[in-house]
Amino acid sequence: MASSATISNKQGHQVLTEQHHQTSTELDDLKRTTKTDTNLFQVLEGETVDVSHTSEVEINRIVRKIDPRIIPLLWVTYGIQLIDKSGIGTYATFGLRKDLHLVGQQYAWLTTAFYLSYMVFQLPFTTLIQRFPMGRTLPILIMLWGVVAICIGFAQNFAQILAMRILLGMLESCVSSGFILTIASWYTTREHASRSLAFTTGNSGVLIVANFIMYGFGSITFSHPDQEVWRYMAYFFGGLTVCLGITGLFLLDTPSEVRWLTTTEKELAISRMLSNQTGHDETGKRWNWKQTREAVTDPVLYLHTFNAFLSAVPNGGLTAFGSIINVSLGFSE
């Protein structure tokens, strides 16, 4: 029994040593990669990384300050990206195919090209967000896709709009992974599910509002049938995306870099993440093969992939051809 106790103590000591080494390594990386005042890290060393002694009132206060600045922006942007990529179906009902002289399978290729580009560039752009400051890279990519969405309204032929759709797929490929990384940088494991669910509802919530806006643009055709109103829709939603990207430059930074937290609040925000053992706010500095093996051997990964596949297959066709099908059934634009 004494021998067993000795082994148990050694194993416990080894675990604690590994956890301390992991936290120390993360802290050293954070010190090296951020430009924040070094005084910020004094509370992160030793026992102060444990936030168990911090009052629940203080923790709730910092979370209440984070939520209204991060979640609404993610919510609106996540919804707008659906409009930007699937709006092609609405544009088609208001004359896009006629105005650009599309024939045969050219319209179908506009959807196919988007998703092929999205698939090819998702991994490189996710890596890009991790290797460079996320608070700058992600908003810039959002602004660029907004510019491309505006340029769709200026397209004059199939080649031009096809190029814009390819660029749009490339730039939008950062959205889901970038937003998940944002949630992981600000929230503990217990908070991930609720915050991720909150911003993904933007697909439905923003679409409801966007349908009324597109109806308003579409009503222009009643009095001015010669107007190419689908171009106005592209200008509006693309411009809104650019504005969201600019807003992100001020809000979507990491806890150690944002301007809207005081030094004390930054200390608490970073401490929450370190004590949570999920990393710090400087992501992707080194590839961790242990985590890779853990992921590929987790059946949840494959269940989630299968679920996403079942959802995505009909989604692409319905968003591109749903409005056209409605018109073909005799409904008015």
| Pair 102, 230: CB distance under 8 Å | no
Residue-level length of the chain:
333
Question: 113 near 133, Cβ under 8 Å?
Answer: no
* Six-digit token string for 74: 């993610």
Per-position b or e across 132-151, b if 16+ CB within 10 A of its CB: ebbbebbbebbbbbbebbbb
Kindly report the backbone phi and psi dihedral angles of residue 275, in degrees, each rounded to the nearest multiple of 5, phi listed first: -70, -20
DSSP for residue 285 = S
pLDDT for the residue numbered 46: 40
Q: Which helix (H) or strand (E) holds 270?
A: helix 263-275
Q: What is the pTM of this model?
A: 0.76
| Buried/exposed 249-288: b ≥16 CB within 10 Å, e otherwise | eebbbbbbbbeebeeebbbbbbbbbbbbeebbbbbbeeee
Q: Which two tokens stand for residue 78?
A: 């996540």
Question: If you ran DSSP here, which 8-state letter would residue 240 be given?
Answer: H
From CA 67, how far away is CA 222, in angstroms rounded? 43
The C-alpha atoms of residue 122 and residue 249 are separated, in whole angstroms, by: 21
CA distance 100 to 114: 18
Distance (Å) of CA 55 to CA 25, 41, 59, 276, 323: 27, 20, 7, 16, 53
Rounded CA-CA distance 202/198 in Å is: 8
Instruction: Tell me how many degrees the CA angle 241-242-248 measures, rounded to the nearest 5.
Output: 90
Place of tokens 């706010």: 281
Find the helix or strand (DSSP H, E) in which 160 lies: helix 158-172
How many angstroms separate the CA atoms of 330 and 204, rounded? Answer: 26
CB 83 within 8 A of CB 208: no
* pLDDT value, residue 40: 45
How many other C-beta atoms lie within 10 A of the C-beta of residue 243? 15
**CB-based contacts of 72, cutoff 8 Å, min separation 6:** none
Q: Domains in the chain and their CATH numbers?
A: 43-289 (1.20.1250.20)
Q: Under a CB-based contact definition with an 8 Å cutoff, are residues 217 and 153 in contact?
A: no
> What are the C-alpha distances in Å from 192 to residues 64, 256, 304, 317?
15, 19, 16, 31
Q: pLDDT tens track of the chain, all 333 residues?
A: 444 444 444 444 444 444 444 444 544 554 444 444 444 444 444 444 455 556 677 778 888 888 999 999 999 999 998 888 888 888 888 888 889 998 888 888 988 899 899 989 988 888 888 888 888 889 999 999 999 999 999 999 999 999 999 999 999 988 888 898 888 888 888 888 888 888 888 888 898 898 889 888 888 877 777 888 899 999 999 999 999 999 998 888 778 778 888 888 888 888 777 766 555 555 455 677 887 888 889 998 899 888 878 877 777 666 666 666 666 666 665
